[in-house]
Chain A
């Protein structure tokens, strides 16, 4: 369905199904289709706690079957946004609609929305199975089917053997999975997940991420997920919203957010980036020159915006797009010389911190396809850094 799924390393057994469907002409992108009506729409929504503005005039559309990720620093208002969707907070100004209906008059128990709480909120006096059955018992599901559904959910989160335990008798990660199973059990139209996988180890987290995507594929539930882990957002999300101080800074697909951040804030927040400040001189087409240091060759980059000569800009380039070499490269749009001051070994990759003549440090990343002892570069080596004119992006914000 989604093109990006092809590029992700998927466990073997899961890969067959959607690889063939990986067809860009049929890409899932309702946000580009003006005829689509959104499942959720925020129109000028503001939320204040007393004097403090937690959500600041947000406009946002989330479409059915989306896997929508909210990313942002602690305290930026992610949980508040979720709680407004679930019905636990009312907006100070603006309207939130669910399927075109204003949700303000609907109490939380009347909304087809379930939430997985950041603190899990498992009922300590009930067993794991009873916790999962709690919502089902409140629904119109016949009694005879509840046990079956609970077993199904337990199997999904691999907790079948823990059904009879109380929440305090299982581990933190297991608790998190119980909370997930409980919120999924009622198969809600919209599922809100507040940092659902934070307490899981990396392997289990990846498995659960694929499970989540699988569940979403099967049930057609719309997911809104809060996460601190940008890799997770990149993996699971159809779109990502980057928030700061109660505002949406950028909303786009993960690859667009990564490749074309709209501001230095987003570029810096998502992944690693080198930021170089300078003054711009537009050349032909969308190529611009950036004068960033006295006596240095100006940098060449692209900008989709029309810039006037002399504007202050920031040139952003990802470390993996910076090539590192001992010899001066023959023909590169941009190159600078420097000295390696530090190397961060990340296993498959190494990040080289290169100090250039202006005193700035530029990060370059290269794959470690040789054993560490036979590595080409080491500390204090003079090296050349180079990149193409399309590798970086020129930011004005």
Chain B
């Protein structure tokens, strides 16, 4: 076994250890601690100056009280469920918006494709926060949208969109649609156009050929896009807190409030650990999809 290879292999593992496993273990530890009025605001803290006794005492003070608390208060499981619902609905909406865009890009003439790709990525050049604030300006009662609709006579009273779930959906779809477009575009672009012609030649209408050939062949792109939207949307915090109303319940928002408003780090950490465990399931499914696709391509 040569050292060079060992070294190369160890880099990603060290990276994972330093940037994922260690922080996770710290959060995990905090979630097992108790709230305290101190800095940091929890006990126990590990101090090695007390020697063996100190470590023993430290272990004894850890418990799963915070997790039990999460099951006792309705708020938390409702927040998880509501986040799940919002993430699911907005993933579906993103797919509905993103697929036609990806399809259009893949069918555009080759000299236009880089430009279209640029346009999709362009919003990332400004701050995410500013873009969400901009949506507040558009969706508010006196915002551009209402002004336009009132002016054109489509509505008589301004619509209430801001501070509702609708605004959250709009925000999530807007923010995450590039993540949907790019993987779908990647699968559509490498699809052989003669497949559609073959389907039509064998008696399909254009629509039928799309349904029987294009959709199944872009399946891996659709699945990848859906996970890329669903996973971050589930823990989303900025969009629901800026665009959502007081009744928009999302676990990211709950987490933020526990940390900063209540300063209850242990409970907040427990919420985070559960969220992470919940996300591991779709992440594993996503990995499976990627691997299956890679195998199919070989």
**Given contacts A119-B192, A121-B192, A121-B195, A114 and B201 within 8 Å (CB-CB):** yes
Q: Is B93 engaged at the interface, CB distance under 8 Å to the other chain?
A: no
Q: Could you tell me if B194 and A109 are in contact, using CB atoms closer than 8 angstroms?
A: no
**Given contacts A88-B197, A117-B197, A168-B296, A124 and B202 within 8 Å (CB-CB):** no
List chain B residues, Cβ under 8 A from A119: 192, 194
Q: Is B199 engaged at the interface, CB distance under 8 Å to the other chain?
A: yes
Q: Could you tell me if A123 and B203 are in contact, using CB atoms closer than 8 angstroms?
A: no
Measured CB to CB, the nearest residue on chain B to A88 is B197
Q: Could you tell me if B202 and A125 are in contact, using CB atoms closer than 8 angstroms?
A: no
CB distance from A168 to the nearest CB of B (A): 7
Q: Could you tell me if A121 and B204 are in contact, using CB atoms closer than 8 angstroms?
A: no
Q: Could you tell me if B203 and A121 are in contact, using CB atoms closer than 8 angstroms?
A: no
CB distance from A349 to the nearest CB of B (A): 40
CB distance from A197 to the nearest CB of B (A): 18
CA distance A122 to B213 in the complex (A): 11
**Given contacts A117-B197, A121-B197, A135 and B213 within 8 Å (CB-CB):** no
Q: Is B138 engaged at the interface, CB distance under 8 Å to the other chain?
A: no
List chain A residues, Cβ under 8 A from B194: 117, 119, 121
CA distance A117 to B192 in the complex (A): 12
Q: Could you tell me if A182 and B216 are in contact, using CB atoms closer than 8 angstroms?
A: no
Q: Could you tell me if B216 and A138 are in contact, using CB atoms closer than 8 angstroms?
A: no
Q: Could you tell me if B216 and A135 are in contact, using CB atoms closer than 8 angstroms?
A: no
* Chain B binding surface SS class: helix
Q: Which of A109, A122, A123, A186 contacts B200 (CB 8 A)?
A: A109
List chain B residues, Cβ under 8 A from A86: 197, 201
Q: Could you tell me if A125 and B201 are in contact, using CB atoms closer than 8 angstroms?
A: no
Q: Is A115 engaged at the interface, CB distance under 8 Å to the other chain?
A: yes
Measured CB to CB, the nearest residue on chain B to A110 is B203
Q: Is A377 engaged at the interface, CB distance under 8 Å to the other chain?
A: no
Question: Which of B199, B208, B217: most chain A Cβ within 10 A?
Answer: B199
Kindly identify, within residues 150 to 208 of chain B, every residue whose CB is under 8 Å from any CB belonging to chain A: 192, 194-195, 197-205, 208
CA distance A125 to B222 in the complex (A): 15
**Given contacts A182-B202, A186-B202, A108 and B197 within 8 Å (CB-CB):** yes
Q: Could you tell me if A121 and B198 are in contact, using CB atoms closer than 8 angstroms?
A: yes
CB distance from A373 to the nearest CB of B (A): 51
- Chain A residues with a Cβ closer than 8 Å to the other chain, count: 22
**Given contacts A108-B197, A117-B197, A119-B192, A125 and B216 within 8 Å (CB-CB):** yes
Q: Could you tell me if A135 and B197 are in contact, using CB atoms closer than 8 angstroms?
A: no
CA distance A109 to B205 in the complex (A): 7
CA distance A240 to B180 in the complex (A): 52
Q: Could you tell me if A186 and B198 are in contact, using CB atoms closer than 8 angstroms?
A: no
List chain B residues, Cβ under 8 A from A135: 202-203
Measured CB to CB, the nearest residue on chain B to A86 is B201
Q: Could you tell me if A186 and B203 are in contact, using CB atoms closer than 8 angstroms?
A: yes
Measured CB to CB, the nearest residue on chain A to B219 is A125
List chain A residues, Cβ under 8 A from B219: 125
CA distance A199 to B117 in the complex (A): 38
Proximity bits, A130-148, B CB within 8 Å = 1, else 0: 0000110011000000000
Measured CB to CB, the nearest residue on chain A to B194 is A121
CB distance from A88 to the nearest CB of B (A): 6
Question: Which of B198, B202, B208, B216: most chain A Cβ within 10 A?
Answer: B202
Proximity bits, A77-93, B CB within 8 Å = 1, else 0: 00000000010100000
List chain A residues, Cβ under 8 A from B202: 109, 114, 134-135, 138, 182, 186
List chain A residues, Cβ under 8 A from B198: 115, 117, 121-123
CA distance A139 to B203 in the complex (A): 7
List chain B residues, Cβ under 8 A from A134: 199, 202, 212
Question: Which of B195, B203, B296: most chain A Cβ within 10 A?
Answer: B203
List chain A residues, Cβ under 8 A from B216: 125
Q: Could you tell me if B217 and A125 are in contact, using CB atoms closer than 8 angstroms?
A: yes
CB distance from B69 to the nearest CB of A (A): 49
CA distance A125 to B199 in the complex (A): 13
Q: Could you tell me if B204 and A109 are in contact, using CB atoms closer than 8 angstroms?
A: yes
CB distance from B158 to the nearest CB of A (A): 48
10 contacts between A and B (CB under 8 A): A108-B201, A119-B192, A121-B197, A122-B198, A123-B198, A123-B199, A124-B296, A125-B219, A134-B212, A186-B202
Q: Which residues of B contact A (CB under 8 A)?
A: 192, 194-195, 197-205, 208, 212-213, 216-217, 219, 296
**11 extra A-B contacts, CB within 8 A, seeds A109-B200, A115-B198, A117-B197:** A88-B201, A107-B200, A109-B201, A109-B205, A121-B192, A121-B194, A121-B195, A123-B213, A124-B217, A124-B296, A138-B204
Closest 9 CB pairs of A and B: A138-B203, A135-B202, A121-B198, A121-B194, A125-B216, A108-B200, A109-B200, A115-B201, A117-B194
